[in-house]
């Protein structure tokens, strides 16, 4: 049987989602807790990989079990007690054997948070960026972004993908208060490093160091070398992963 896990995490202390040799990941931490609690090795597959330092308000993963599990509030509570305080499981529920956390997902929604004022409690959760920004020009750049589907210029060069096309649903900047600015972007898929590079490039536009014409030329060039630097990881959040409604039909 296959089960979905819905979880959230603060990525500050981790070397990203995926298991790797050079540091502790979200994936390996979850697998260790599940394997210990269920008394057998458990391997999970996430809806996507987040980089080191990136956070998730909503993430999904799946794992398989040879026998049906008794999913109770007590089970979830005990798993959360075993996990570090910066990882939280919200639900575990059965899905079809053909449902895949990554390949069945139909959308991902990210936010990037910027604050102009330093905050002693939010330093690892937002990007402290002091320069004044022309947000109207940044939103004009978003309008240009929505006209395109090939985002190779914003993908890390070592991305192991067959194509660089993403269908954007929306992209815009909005102030949440006088000092906090948030970038919202949703698409069917994202490339490795795409959101952070878009943000870094748009910050150049907001500071009027780059024109809208130059921005569109970057998109059309399909060359990562001419885009702006990637914004720091600490401001980026995966906030929603979308699936067809039937994925959740067995959720209780």
Nearest Cα residue to 212 out of 204, 223, 222, 224: 204
Q: What are phi and psi of 53, to 5 degrees?
A: 85, -10
Of the candidates 51, 70, 86, 223, the residue annotated as catalytic is: 51
Taking each helix axis from N to C end, the angle separating 212-221 and 135-145, rounded to the nearest 10 degrees, works out to 30
Whether 119 is catalytic = no
Q: Is 170 helix (H, G, I), strand (E, B) or coil?
A: strand
Q: What are phi and psi of 11, to 5 degrees?
A: -85, 5
Which DSSP letter does residue 167 get? -
Two tokens at 19?
């298991």
Beta-bridge partners for 60: 6
State yes or no: 243 annotated in a binding site. no
Cβ–Cβ under 8 Å, residues 112 and 142? no
CA atoms 173, 177, 180, 185: torsion sign? negative
Binding site, by residue number, is: 110
Catalytic residue annotation: 51
Binding site for substrate, by residue number, is: 110
């Amino acid at each position: 049987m296959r089960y979905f896990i819905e979880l959230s995490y603060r990525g500050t202390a981790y070397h990203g989602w995926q298991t790797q040799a050079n540091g502790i990941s979200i994936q390996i931490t979850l697998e260790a807790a599940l394997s210990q609690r269920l008394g057998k090795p458990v391997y999970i597959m996430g809806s996507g990989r987040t980089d080191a330092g990136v956070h998730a308000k909503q993430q999904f993963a799946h794992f398989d079990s040879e026998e049906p599990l008794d999913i109770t509030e007590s089970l979830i509570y005990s798993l959360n007690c075993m996990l570090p305080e910066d990882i939280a499981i919200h639900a575990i529920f059965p899905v079809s054997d053909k449902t895949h956390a990554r390949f069945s997902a139909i959308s991902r929604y990210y936010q990037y948070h910027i604050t102009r004022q330093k905050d002693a409690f939010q330093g690892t959760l937002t990007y402290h960026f002091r320069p004044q920004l022309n947000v109207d020009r940044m939103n004009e750049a978003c309008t240009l972004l929505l006209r395109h589907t090939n985002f190779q210029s914003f993908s890390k060069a070592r991305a192991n993908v067959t194509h660089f096309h993403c269908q954007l649903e929306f992209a815009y900047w909005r102030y949440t208060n006088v000092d906090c600015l948030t970038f919202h972007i949703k698409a069917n898929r994202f490339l490795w490093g795409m959101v952070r590079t878009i943000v870094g490039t748009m910050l150049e536009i907001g500071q009027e160091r780059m024109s809208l014409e130059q921005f569109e030329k970057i998109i059309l060039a399909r060359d990562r070398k001419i885009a702006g630097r990637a914004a720091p990881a600490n401001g980026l959040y995966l906030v929603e992963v979308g699936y067809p409604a039937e994925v959740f039909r067995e959720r209780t």
